[in-house]
């Protein structure tokens, strides 16, 4: 219940800082970040994100299902690491995604990335761990922080839907640029993921 109270309090603060959010917070689905425990591991969540890049939700689901089958029912670093590149490609992954998944798996197995430590790491430390991997950009890392870890102060200014939602809420005639949005997010420090949620919903 603590997180639910925190989110309700954040909603009130957002409206105090910027009245433009009042209608969205009143009428759109409330933010749920961190209310439920994730049903997948950190590793599985990232694998799913990689699979979902630039394909439809249905295609991503099919590919994930095939990979899960290849892994005998559960996608783990040890099981994915035991598959050949050919086997990985056979589930419908592109060469680039095979490389990303292989690098992520290797980093996980070698301990180069220690998912157990993520709970105690800052957002930026986690991003620094993930971004050097081929095919995992800042945006993928930010989505992982927000949707999987339930972090409340991530500000994904490179996300087109976040920018579009901001424009819609503020009645902007010119599309906002990421740099400008970075500055406009500063008054919301500590709760920027929640602001992003309402921008997504308003896009």
Q: Determine the pLDDT at residue 167.
A: 98
CA distance 99 to 41: 20
Whether 200 contacts 161, CB under 8 Å: yes
> Domain containing 198 — which CATH number?
1.10.1670.40
Q: Determine the pLDDT at residue 134.
A: 97
**If you average pLDDT over residues 48-63, what whole number do you get?**
95
At CA 110, angle to CA 104 and CA 113, rounded to 5?
Answer: 55
Is 159 an active-site residue?
yes
* pLDDT tens-place string over residues 118-159: 999 999 999 999 999 999 999 999 999 999 999 999 999 999
Residues spanned by the domain of 111: 42-148
Residues 29 and 107 in one domain: no
Look at residue 175 and tell me whether its pLDDT is greater than 80.
yes
Look at residue 58 and tell me whether its pLDDT is greater than 80.
yes
State the pTM of this model.
Answer: 0.94
Residues 161 and 88 in one domain: no
**If you average pLDDT over residues 164-183, what whole number do you get?**
98
Q: What percent of the chain has pLDDT over 90?
A: 99
End-of-domain residue from the set 132, 148, 164:
148
DSSP secondary structure letter of residue 17: H
Residues 90 and 123 in one domain: yes
Tally of domains in the chain: 2
Q: Determine the pLDDT at residue 181.
A: 98
Residues 95 and 139 in one domain: yes
Q: Is the dihedral of CA 145, 148, 153, 154 positive or negative?
A: positive
**If you average pLDDT over residues 36-55, what whole number do you get?**
95
Whether 108 contacts 94, CB under 8 Å: no
Closest CA to 107 of 151, 52, 49, 47: 47
Active site residue: 123, 129, 159, 167, which one?
Answer: 159
CA distance 148 to 24: 23
CA distance 33 to 152: 7
At CA 9, angle to CA 176 and CA 120, rounded to 5?
Answer: 80
Residues 100 and 180 in one domain: no
Q: Determine the pLDDT at residue 78.
A: 98
């Amino acid at each position: 219940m603590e997180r639910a109270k925190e989110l309700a309090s954040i909603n009130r603060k957002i409206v105090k800082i910027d009245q433009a959010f009042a209608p969205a917070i009143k009428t759109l689905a409330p933010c749920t970040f961190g209310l439920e425990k994730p049903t997948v591991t950190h590793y599985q969540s990232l694998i799913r994100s990689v699979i979902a890049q630039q394909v439809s939700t249905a295609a991503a689901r099919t590919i994930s299902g095939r990979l899960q089958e290849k892994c005998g029912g559960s996608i783990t670093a040890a099981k994915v690491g035991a598959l050949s590149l050919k086997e990985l490609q056979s589930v419908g992954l592109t060469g680039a995604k095979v490389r990303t998944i292989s690098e992520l798996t290797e980093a996980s197995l070698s301990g180069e990335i220690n998912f157990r430590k993520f709970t105690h790491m800052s957002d930026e430390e986690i991003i620094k761990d993930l971004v050097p991997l081929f095919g995992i950009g800042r945006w993928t890392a930010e989505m992982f922080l927000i949707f999987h870890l339930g972090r409340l102060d991530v500000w994904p200014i490179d996300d087109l839907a976040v920018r579009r939602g901001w424009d819609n809420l503020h009645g902007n005639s010119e599309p906002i640029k990421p740099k400008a949005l970075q500055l406009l997010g500063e008054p919301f420090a500590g709760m920027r993921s929640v602001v992003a949620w309402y921008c997504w919903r308003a896009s």
